[in-house]
Amino acid sequence: MKSNPKLFNQLEKLLTEQRNPNSSEIDLADSRTIVQIINEEDKKVANAVEKKLDVIADAIDAIVEKLKIGGRILYFGAGTSGRLGVLDAAECPPTFGTKPETVQGYIAGGEKAMFEAQEGAEDSEKIGEDEVDSLNITDKDVVIGLAASGRTPYVHGALKRANSIGCVTAMVTTVSEEQVEVDVNFLVAVPVGPEVLMGSTRMKSATAQKMILNMFTTGAMIRLGKVYENVMVDLQLTNKKLEERAKRIVMSLSGVDYDEASKLLDKADNHVKTALLMALTNVDRNTAELKLKENDGFIRRALQNS
C-alpha cells in the first residue's frame, strides 16, 4: 500500500478522526450502556446544528431564488454523505410534487456505490469535475457538497467546477470551518466532535447532515408554496397510502367528508392543492387553477386574494 503522509496528517487533525473519551470503554459495555452512550452523543448534534441556523437560512434563500428561475439542487458526496444526498433528492418528488430533475443526488462511484462501498471513487477531483460537466450545469443551479471530513477530493472537484460556472455553492461538513479548504458561497460547518467509534461518520456526522438537508429542501419547498399551514399539499399520489393521505388532507383542512374529498380529487386530476382550493372556496377546477397560478401556487395567498 502506497503511503500518503499528507493525507495521514490531514486526517490526524480532523475532529471526526479523534477518539471520544466518553466511549473509551464501550467495548466492555452491555447493550443498555452502549445505547446510552450513543444516545448521549446524539443529543449533542441538534445543539451543534443550531449554531449554524443563520447560514442554513441564507442558503435556503439562495436556493429558492434559483428554483424560481428553473434551477436545480444538485448534491455531491461520497459514502454515507453521498447516500444522504441521494436519499433527500429521491424523497422530494413524492413529498413535494417536484420533478425528479429538480433535486438530484450524486455519489462517488455512481449508482453501485449506494449499495456497495466504492471507496476509491472519492479520491479524484477530476471525477467530480467530470460529473458536473456531464450534467449541463448552469449558473441557475445550486451545487451542494457533502463531506463529513470537509476534504473529499470528489466533492472538492465538483464544487470548484461549479464555482467556475457561476453556480451558487454550499458545503455541508462536520469539521470546523478552518479545516475546509474549498471556497463556497455557504459553508455549513457543524463540528459534532469525535464519533462514538473513532472515524465512524455514519453516526453523529450523518445525523447532522441529514438534519441540514431536511432543512434545505423542506425550507425551500415551504417558501415555494408547497405547504399550507403545516401540511404538505403538493404531494404526488403515487401509491394507495398517498391517495388516502391526500383525501385526509382535503378533509381535515376544508371540513368536507370522505366522499366529497374523493370527488374533488378526481375532478382536480389528483392535484391536491387544486382540490383543496375548490373545497375551501367552492369554485370549479379551472377557477382554482387560475387562482393558484395568480398567487404563485400559495394556498394562503389565494384565499386572502379571493
Pick the closest to residue 175 from 24, 18, 9, 33 (CA basis): 18
Please indicate whether residue 40 is annotated as part of the active site. Answer: no
Q: Which of 122, 125, 195, 289 is catalytic?
A: 122
Burial class, 77, CB count within 10 angstroms (exposed 0-12 / middle 13-18 / buried 19+): buried
122 is catalytic: yes
Q: At a CB cut-off of 8 Å and minimum separation 6, what does 224 contact? A: 64, 67, 68, 297
Residue/partner pairs of 174-179 with CB below 8 Å, 24 or more apart: 174/15, 174/16, 174/148, 174/150, 174/201, 174/204, 174/205, 174/208, 174/209, 175/14, 175/15, 175/16, 175/148, 175/149, 175/150, 176/15, 179/13, 179/14, 179/15, 179/150, 179/151
Residue 231's alpha-carbon distances to 57, 94, 241, 268, 299, in angstroms, are 21, 14, 16, 18, 11
**Other Cβ atoms closer than 10 A to 37:** 17
Do 180 and 150 touch, CB atoms closer than 8 A?
yes
Which one is catalytic: 17, 65, 91, 243? 91
Catalytic residue positions? 91, 122
